Chain A
Amino acid sequence: MKALEVRNVTYKYPIARTNVLENISFSVNKGEFVAIVGKNGCGKTTLCNILRGFIPSFHQGKFAGTVLINEKNIKQMSMGEIAVAIGFVFQNPFIQVSGIKHSVFNEVAYGLENLGIDREEMIGRTEQILKDLKMNDLRDKHPVELSGGQRQRVALASVLVMDPDILIIDEPTSQLDPQSTEKVFEIIRLLKERNKTIILVEHKIDLISEYADRVILIDDKRIVFDDLTQKVLVNKKVLSYGVNLPQVAKLGIKFEEQTDFRLDYIPSVLTDAINVFKKYV
Chain B
Amino acid sequence: MEGIRVENASYSYDNGYIAVDNVSLEIKKGENLAIIGQNGAGKTTLVKMFNGLLRPQKGKIYVDNEDVSNLTVAQISRKVGYVFQNPGEQIFNPTVYDEIAYTPRYFKLKEKEVAQKVQDAAELCNIIDYLKLNPYDLPFSLRKFVTIASVIAMGTEHIILDEPTAGQDLFGLEQQKKIIKELLKRGKTVITITHDMEFVAENFSRVIVMTDKKIVADKNKRAIFWDFEILKKSSIKQLYVSMLAKELAMKNNVISIDEFIHEVTKK
Which A positions have Cβ atoms within 8 angstroms of B? 38-41, 45, 91-92, 94-95, 142, 145-150, 153, 171, 174-182, 203, 206, 239, 242-244, 246-248, 250-251, 254-255, 258-259, 270, 273-274, 277-278, 280-281
Contact = CB atoms under 8 A, between A and B. Distances in A.
B248 A259 contact: no
Contacts of B203: none
B39 A180 contact: yes
Given A178-B236, A180-B235, A254-B261, A45 B171 contact: no
A14 B257 CA distance: 45
Sorting the interface of chain B by its residue count into under 10, 10 to 19, 20 to 34 or 35 or more gives: 35 or more
Contacts of A146: 40
A40 B172 contact: yes
A145 B264 contact: no
B243 A270 contact: yes
13 contacts: A41-B142, A91-B140, A148-B39, A176-B39, A177-B38, A178-B237, A246-B240, A248-B240, A251-B241, A251-B260, A259-B261, A274-B248, A281-B249
Interface of B: 13, 15, 17, 37-40, 44, 85-86, 88, 139-142, 163, 166-172, 195, 197-198, 234-237, 239-241, 243-244, 247-250, 257-258, 260-261, 264-265
B244 A277 contact: yes
Contact of B244 (A39, A203, A270): A270
Given A255-B261, A270-B247, 19 more contacts: A39-B171, A40-B141, A40-B167, A94-B86, A94-B88, A142-B15, A146-B40, A149-B195, A174-B166, A175-B39, A175-B85, A175-B163, A177-B195, A258-B265, A259-B265, A270-B244, A274-B248, A278-B248, A281-B264
B37 A177 contact: yes
Nearest to A179: B235
B195 A175 contact: yes
B235 A178 contact: yes
B171 A274 contact: no
A184 to B, nearest CB: 12
Given A91-B140, A145-B15, A177-B38, A248 B244 contact: yes
A179 B236 contact: yes
Contacts of A145: 13, 15, 17
A177 B171 CA distance: 22
A145 B44 CA distance: 13
A244 B170 contact: yes
Contact of A41 (B85, B141, B261): B141
A178 B169 contact: no
Given A177-B235, A182-B237, A148 B86 contact: yes
Select the residue from B163, B195, B239 with max chain A CB neighbours within 10 A: B195
Contacts of A254: 257-258, 261
Contact of A40 (B17, B171, B197, B239): B171
Top 7 A-B residue pairs of the complex, sorted by shortest distance between their CB atoms: A149-B39, A179-B235, A178-B237, A40-B141, A247-B240, A39-B169, A174-B166
